[in-house]
A = this chain, B = another copy of it.
Amino acid sequence: MYRTHTCGELRISDQGKKVTLSGWIQRSRDLGGMTFIDLRDRYGVTQLVFNMETNAGLCTEARKLGREYVLMAEGNVNERSNKNPKMPTGDIEIQVTAFNVLNAAATPPFTIEDESDGGDELRMKYRYLDLRRNPLKNNLMLRHRMAFETRNYLNSQAFIEVETPVLIKSTPEGARDFVVPSRVNPGQFYALPQSPQTFKQLLMVAGYDRYMQIVKCFRDEDLRADRQPEFTQIDCEMAFVHQDDILDMFEGLIGHLFREVKGVIFETRFPRMTFAEAMEKYGSDKPDIRFGMTFVDLANACKGKGFGVIDDAPYVGGIVAQGCSEYTRKQLDELTDFVKKPQVGARGLIYIRCNADGTYKSSMDKFYSPDDLKGIAAAAAAVAGDLILILTGEKQPTQKALGELRLEMGNRLGLRDKKEFKPLWVVDFPLLEWDQETKRFYAMHHPFTSPKPEDAQYLESDPARVRANAYDCVINGVEVGGGSIRIHDEALQKRMFKSLGFTDEEAQNQFGFLLGAFRYGAPPHGGIAFGFDRLVSLFAGEDSIRDVIAFPKNNAARDVMAECPSEISEAQLKELSIRVQKN
């Protein structure tokens, strides 16, 4: 070992010990006759001292050392005259008697500090330097602990981790696959898994009962802000369970993680909300319930006064922003601009100020008398000092837009505290989703999700009406996990494929081995998968999953550090029986 102790562990009780530390030079200060060096490793920072009076040679040498040099230093643990209560090692310093430069360092292209001066691109290129910074280091330590505690909890619940293959069969259903040409089987390809879905269901058929895996998954999508071509799931499946058994089990997992990793204890069970209620009250299938401001249907209270925007709208919904009656014209304009953004998509915003003096002021004063407004305020349960915000239009898009406005107001009012955590289960998702473009139904979750038994009768007559045994785990408005009870009955599965417009042959071709397996004794089963990157970023209080991934790709799916993807040789292509042909 190049050290007797780490840079994070020495305390006043170690005073007088002769120690050896190794680490990186965080900073160096020359003060008159003394030189101070902060030596850093993963565990912390310890101050080294060199004294011109007692050892001029050593001190002179020390003054030549640069930032990020790798140093091994020997010396004695002394009590500091100038203690630093902010550092765990702040009571002591090392009076260095000898040192050894283990490696020199060029000047880093940005500062290795909690707040670095480097831009995103530069820090991505030198990711190995960026990873030295505390924020990233703490995120990766957190990620490790969360993975470790996930396994601890699930192991204690008799789950076994089974590794499923990474080189699998490509299926056209779902998102785009990454593929891998096979050299040994010319013209044929493997795909990288978008999830281990079929394999975990096969494990249930095989009797494994409680399966888990923390596993890399792959999706060749055009990247948005918070997506990566490879991402990590906590993937789980259980047999002989009903939906409630799964929700109970994984509420246990999430509770365990919060308790062990963040010291957060949930006093009550996670609320369970239907998809229909979530849309009706929050305009989102992943409601942020850290704050109320739920939707009020104002159609009855508003209609019939001759205001076309309201009278002609299939849906009139509002939210009440408490204490915002004095919002300025500028603030209201900002909100109007916000709801008109293409991503939100409303045509305009109606407001009613419930003034402190009991009067009302609204953007639709022309059509509504003070008494009308009072009636609407009463319907919205708004009181003096509140601001009512109203959107109108087609039901679904308007609810969605109102949901966005609600979140914006939550942000403005500081109601979305990153240190507060409010989980819930959203249940009873629709089984199928109509796609206007391809004019067919798609499975909202996936083709193996089971309909609710009482709704299965409508699978042919009214597919849109069928609810699924599907559920999402939502925390603070973030969908951290989702799953379903699967179909384990061959006849029902065939009906499902039919609803999705699959011919028997297509179903057989794509999922033949799973359908075959179902003929040999498939147990009732269901499961869930958590987006591990997103869960970690939620715990870390980070907005992007990139900040909790050691070596992420950029928005063009490139690793700018390793310069990858890259071209490969003609010989490699030939061996793989493929040619590049750019369009």
Contacts and interface: CB of A to CB of B under 8 A. Distances in A.
Interface of A: 1-3, 22-24, 40-43, 68-70, 72, 102-106, 108, 126-129, 131-132, 137, 140-141, 143-144, 147-148, 151, 155, 160-170, 172, 176-192, 198-199, 202-203, 205-209, 216, 218, 220, 222, 229-230, 232, 240-242, 245, 488-489, 512-513, 517-524, 549-551, 553, 556-559, 561-569, 572, 574-583
B2 A240 contact: yes
A547 to B, nearest CB: 14
5 contacts: A24-B521, A105-B520, A164-B551, A169-B563, A184-B557
A389 to B, nearest CB: 40
A160 B192 CA distance: 26
Contacts of A127: 202, 206
A208 B1 contact: no
Contacts of A241: 1-2
B168 A562 contact: yes
A129 B519 CA distance: 11
Contact of A577 (B203, B523, B568, B583): B583
B565 A189 contact: yes
Given A132-B206, A188-B567, 12 more contacts: A1-B240, A23-B207, A24-B207, A128-B520, A131-B207, A163-B550, A166-B192, A166-B218, A168-B564, A170-B564, A513-B561, A577-B581
Nearest to A2: B240
Identical chains in the assembly = 2
A108 B207 CA distance: 14
Contact of A163 (B216, B557, B565): B216
Given A2-B240, A179-B181, A206-B132, A583 B578 contact: no
Contacts of A550: 162-164, 199, 203
Nearest to A186: B582
A564 B208 contact: no
B162 A207 contact: no
Given A182-B565, A183-B220, A209-B41, A523 B22 contact: yes
Contacts of A186: 580, 582-583
B160 A141 contact: yes
Given A162-B140, A168-B564, A563-B513, A222 B184 contact: yes
A576 B575 CA distance: 18
Which has the most chain B C-beta neighbours within 10 Å: A105, A181, A556, A567?
A181
A208 B148 contact: no
Contacts of A141: 160
A129 B240 contact: no
Nearest to A571: B172
Contact of A558 (B68, B185, B229, B565): B185
Nearest to A184: B557
A559 B559 CA distance: 31
A258 B128 CA distance: 36
B574 A520 contact: no
| Cβ-closest 3 pairs across A and B | A105-B521, A169-B564, A131-B206
A521 B163 contact: no
A521 B66 CA distance: 10
Given A1-B245, A578-B581, A108 B520 contact: yes
What is the predominant secondary structure among interface residues of chain A facing chain B? loop
Contact of A179 (B129, B180, B519): B180
Contact of A240 (B22, B207, B488, B522): B22
Contacts of A574: 583
Contacts of A565: 167, 169, 180, 182, 185, 188-190
Contact of A520 (B129, B188, B488, B551): B129
Contacts of A208: 42, 131, 137, 140
A166 B105 CA distance: 29
Nearest to A42: B209
A294 B517 CA distance: 52
Which has the most chain B C-beta neighbours within 10 Å: A40, A190, A216, A579?
A190
A184 B186 CA distance: 24
A230 B165 contact: yes
A207 B40 contact: yes
A132 to B, nearest CB: 5
A70 B523 contact: yes
Given A70-B522, A161-B147, A178 B179 contact: no
Contacts of A222: 184
A240 B518 CA distance: 54
Contacts of A569: 172
A345 B198 CA distance: 47
B230 A179 contact: no
B187 A161 contact: no
Contacts of A512: 563
A409 B70 CA distance: 53
A166 B40 contact: no
A131 B563 contact: no
A348 B169 CA distance: 50
A583 B41 CA distance: 54
Contact of A207 (B41, B168, B177): B41
A41 B521 CA distance: 12
Contact of A161 (B106, B144, B513): B144
